[in-house]
Amino acid sequence: MPYKPKRPCRYPGCDRLVECERYCAEHQKAMDKHYNRYERDPASNKRYGRAWKRIRDSYIKLHPLCEECEKLGRLTPANEVHHILPLSKGGGNERSNLMALCKSCHSRITAESGDRWG
């Protein structure tokens, strides 16, 4: 089965091609920095520091596949960790409140709950 064609990075003036991301690696860092600095609540930046990265990495190591895709019989590598009950609504970093997801499942769940794209 053929692969999807690569698309250009969405950053203005960049001509690099990307597979399924919006931006190339260089511009993704810039866009994440912009989001964290200007759009994200400053209190949430404190919640997602070094301690969260350690928790996230250990959870991904234990759950390498997307939990939503597994329910549908698909084997997709997980690359993001989702809080079932968001930190902003009183959730915590306990393993029972975490879920390993692929990027598309995490984006879909986040959009449905209205957390980032409300």
Model confidence over 79-98: pLDDT tens digits? 999 999 888 788 888 999 99
With beta carbons less than 8 A apart as the criterion, state whether 87 and 97 touch.
no
With beta carbons less than 8 A apart as the criterion, state whether 77 and 102 touch.
yes
pLDDT of 26 over the 70 cut: yes
55 vs 115, higher pLDDT: 55
- Phi/psi at 67 (5° precision): -70, -30
pLDDT digit string, tens, across residues 36-84: 787 777 766 677 778 888 999 999 999 999 999 999 999 999 999 999 9
Domain extents for the chain?
Answer: 1-39, 48-118
Fold of the 48-118 domain: DNA Binding (I), subunit A (1.10.30)
With beta carbons less than 8 A apart as the criterion, state whether 21 and 31 touch.
no
